[in-house]
Structures are given as C-alpha cells and as structure tokens.
Structure 1
Amino acid sequence: MNLILSKALIDCFIAFGVVVGGALLAGIGSVLALSPPSSMMVDTASRLKIWALVAAVGGTIDPMRVIESNMIEGHLSPVVQQVLFILCAFIGAHAGTELIRMICRGSG
C-alpha cells in the first residue's frame, strides 16, 4: 500500500513540475523574444496540462491496457490503482496550471 501511495504522490509532482517548469521556461523565452510573458505562460500551462498527465503516468498506452485487460478479467484492484495514478497526475497538472494562472494574474 505504501508503494502505491508513493507512486501516486510522485506522479502528482511529476505532472506539477512539467506544467510549472514548461510555463516558466516559456515565460523566459517570451521575454527574450520581446513578447508579454504572462499570456505566454498561461497559454503554455494550459497546453501542457494533458502532456504532463501523459508524462507522469508513463508516456505510453500501457496504463490503458492495464485497465482494459484487468477490467475484462474482473480484477478491479489494478484498475483502481491505475485510475488513482491518473487522477493524482491530473491533480498535479491542474494545480500547476492554477499556480501559473495565479502568479500571472497577480503580476498583471
């Protein structure tokens, strides 16, 4: 159980880091390109949200295969685990997006 919760927490922080890191680097790039950084950061954070989720859960279709094969066989425990991992990754990506929105709204 401890291993499952630690993987879920790590997935959450990976997704959070992808969104926040990508948005911050996009902001730096927009400053170098002499364009407004806050709008670029918010736009990039929104676009990176789904990719952060994909990166956190493994970047492949394997989680969906685990869900499908175990659902068909009637084994619900692995299905619940995969859904938990995806949900935690979504929470991290969404938190990162909201943090970038909050930071950019405060500066403008």
Structure 2
Amino acid sequence: MLAFFQNILYNFFISLGVMIGGCFFGGVAATLNGHPPLKTMLDLCNRIKVWAIIVALGGTIPSIKVLEIGIFNGEVRGLVKQVVYILSALLGAHIGYMLIYYLEGSGSL
C-alpha cells in the first residue's frame, strides 16, 4: 500500500517537473533567440502537457497493458490503480500549466 502512494507522488511530481522544467528551459532558448520568453513558455505548456503525463507514467505501453488486463480480465484493482496514477500525472501536469499561466500574467491569483 505504501508503494501505491509513493507512485502517486512520483507521477505527480515527475509530470510537474517536466512541465516546469521544459517550459523554463524553452523560455531560456526563446530569450537567446530573441523571442518573447513568457509567450513561448505558455505555448510550450500547451504542447508538452500530454508528454509530461506520458513521461510520468513511464511510457504508454505498460499503462495500456494494465488497462487492457483490467477491462478484459476483470482485474478491477489494477484498473483502479492505473486510473489513479493517470489522474495523479494529469493533476501534476495541469498544476505546472497553471503555474506557467499565472507567471505569464494571463490569470490572476
């Protein structure tokens, strides 16, 4: 049970880190190229959100395999675990997106 909660945290923070790190370094590259960094960071956030989730899950093939076994073989426990892992990674990616969004100034805290 402890490993389950640890994996939830890993998935959350890995996807959060991919979003923030990718957008931050993309903003540095935009600055070096003479483009507006905050706008570039926000554009990158939209493009890499799905990839942050995939990276956090360790690729799509193991996740799809677990979902397949859960659906077709009736192993509900594995299916629920995988859905929770996906939601955790999705939440981390979305929070990373929102942090960059508020940094850019499009939203207000």
Q: TM-score, normalised by structure 1?
A: 0.94
- In 2: Cα distance, 1:74 partner to 1:35 partner: 52
User: How do 1:26-105 and structure 2 match up within 5 A?
Assistant: 26-105=26-105
Deviation string 1:29-87 (CA, Å, 9 cap, x unpaired) is 01100111111000001111000000000113111111111221111000000000000
- In 2: Cα distance, 1:77 partner to 1:35 partner: 48
Over the residues paired in the alignment, what is the CA RMSD in angstroms?
Answer: 1.0
Equivalent position amino acid for 1:81 in 2? K
Overall identity of the aligned pairs, in %? 36
- In 1: Cα distance, 2:67 partner to 2:60 partner: 13
Determine helix, strand or coil for the equivalent of 2:105: helix
Equivalent position amino acid for 1:12 in 2? F
- In 2: Cα distance, 1:70 partner to 1:25 partner: 38
Equivalent position amino acid for 1:3 in 2? A
- In 1: Cα distance, 2:79 partner to 2:7 partner: 15
How many residues end up aligned between the 2 structures?
Answer: 106
Determine helix, strand or coil for the equivalent of 2:60: coil
Equivalent position amino acid for 1:39 in 2? K
Determine helix, strand or coil for the equivalent of 2:6: helix
Structure 1: gaps of 5 or more residues: none
- In 2: Cα distance, 1:31 partner to 1:73 partner: 52
Determine helix, strand or coil for the equivalent of 2:35: coil
Structure 2: gaps of 5 or more residues: none
